Chains A and B, each alone.
Chain A
């Protein structure tokens, strides 16, 4: 399968990544080559494949409250922190 610049741009948008036009072209070539190699998996006939992956289920833990962490850790690592909260950019603007 060929991955073209349009598809790279679409996937980059989904992944919240900005890619320059030059990078987009280069990535399109690299990803096409990689995905073409991955077409190998199609050689296995469908009837040989299990209906669903047989991964073990993740064990669940008890729903029990535990003590939280000191907020100084969050504050020390946050780009912006005020009044015991992370400061986030405006999500909805006046015009929205």
Chain B
């Protein structure tokens, strides 16, 4: 195995160090990674578009600047980008046929920041259409296979990004998380995945699904790599009016201080609401014990409206989606259908271009906002959302972070939930509460099931608590040691 192959199999931080110290060139890393990207696309369907020219140009620039003493934190690190995040000159389809042929004019702010830190974009990853799904089965192109078991889903909607990192085609990937679309696939693919405090990472250049919930996040194999990505992606952006103007908290510094004295609350509702798989329950208990031994104080904490979070989420998110996706009408971009008047072009384009899950959610959201139903559904959901926020505020008076499983179960088989959309939605029970409250949350691998599938635990904290969340995740990573395991179907 070559030095570059070994580096691609290891953490991004080690790879960046090797490029900075000129042990290997970024171009050599990019060339090797691009081969792996092609292989991962063939084997798992994790990529939709390749970035050969862009990657080699970016890598050459990194090498040139490294020679001049530039100290890039992510020097030469191959980066996979979810297909609903713009990268200049590459297609952006959000996994939908309605955007077939669309090419981005500029890169999203989070992509620009990572590239400025030395990362090299190697491809765009497959995803559930417009980020709507928890299994990557609603991609308009093809489903994505989980490298831990190719007969199972990788989770969604950022399933391609998760599978790409798990398979070792790129050490770092970004995705979007509206109701768990980074955390849940991270959990199902044995990775670290985070969503920030709402507004901490710019949404500029993301294809909108639900604007009060959408956030960009990252996947990595180690907590340190995930924290590095946070540090580079976070920060104010004048092009996103919801971007936070307060200083970015120091995640890497806090991580080194450990978890001694931190108060961690075990979510009481996890047991009752989640229908936890036995292995997941065991790992939940084991993680609590591990943190206790590392010096954290473990207590139980209740967030009483967690059982309401799925209904609230699916009313708010679909209502916002029905509005955001109105722009896809065949006039300014995308594949136009229909040759009659304006209304027939709108209807023809949208009916041919959107897939079944997107149509279902647009209908649900349109219903929730329609005359006669708005107050009873959308309006009520927003008011319950306010109560959920207050529940979290009360819980964080008692604890520094809340621990619960990321997903009630491990990766499921293809087709297991497609016949019943409600069952698919209910799988998001532990990820949607943090999204609704705008709180930071991350998933960290905590063990393997008896079937050899990864299990993930989620930490949720108050606004700007990312440093504490990464410190807790680091402690779990050290204790569980899952990150060193390679999935059986990795490259």
Contacts and interface: CB of A to CB of B under 8 A. Distances in A.
A22 interface: no
Interface of B is mostly: helix
Given A40-B308, A50-B387, A88-B331, A30 B421 contact: yes
Interface of A is mostly: loop
B279 interface: no
Interface string A44-66: 10001110111100111100000
B336 interface: yes
Interface string A79-90: 110000010111
Given A31-B367, A53-B386, A59-B242, A37 B422 contact: yes
Interface in B335-349: 335-336, 338-348
Contacts of A73: 105
A16 B377 CA distance: 21
A7 interface: yes
Interface stretch (B13-21, B117-125, B311-319, B439-447): B311-319
Contact of B360 (A7, A30, A53): A30
Contact of A18 (B242, B330, B351): B351
B76 to A, nearest CB: 29
Nearest to A93: B341
Contacts of A41: 308, 311-312, 315, 380-381, 384
Given A74-B332, A77-B103, A77-B333, A16 B343 contact: yes
B269 to A, nearest CB: 14
B366 A15 contact: yes
B377 A52 contact: no
Contacts of B212: 55
A12 B363 contact: yes
B210 interface: no
Contacts of B336: 79-80
B383 A31 contact: no
A30 B471 CA distance: 42
Contacts, number: 137
B341 A89 contact: yes
A14 interface: yes
A59 to B, nearest CB: 6
A5 interface: no
B29 to A, nearest CB: 31
B242 A17 contact: no
Contacts of B312: 41
B112 to A, nearest CB: 16
Contacts of A59: 241-242
Given A11-B367, A59-B242, A18 B342 contact: no
Given A33-B422, A61-B238, A90 B342 contact: yes
B322 interface: yes
A34 B314 contact: yes
Contact of B307 (A35, A40, A54, A76): A40
Nearest to A3: B367
A56 B322 CA distance: 22
Given A37-B422, A89-B342, A90-B341, A16 B350 contact: yes
25 contacts: A7-B367, A15-B362, A15-B366, A16-B350, A17-B351, A17-B354, A17-B362, A31-B367, A34-B422, A37-B311, A38-B314, A41-B311, A41-B380, A44-B308, A49-B386, A50-B383, A50-B386, A59-B241, A73-B105, A77-B101, A77-B332, A77-B333, A79-B335, A88-B331, A89-B339
Given A19-B351, A41-B312, A59-B242, 6 more contacts: A16-B343, A17-B347, A30-B421, A60-B241, A79-B335, A91-B342
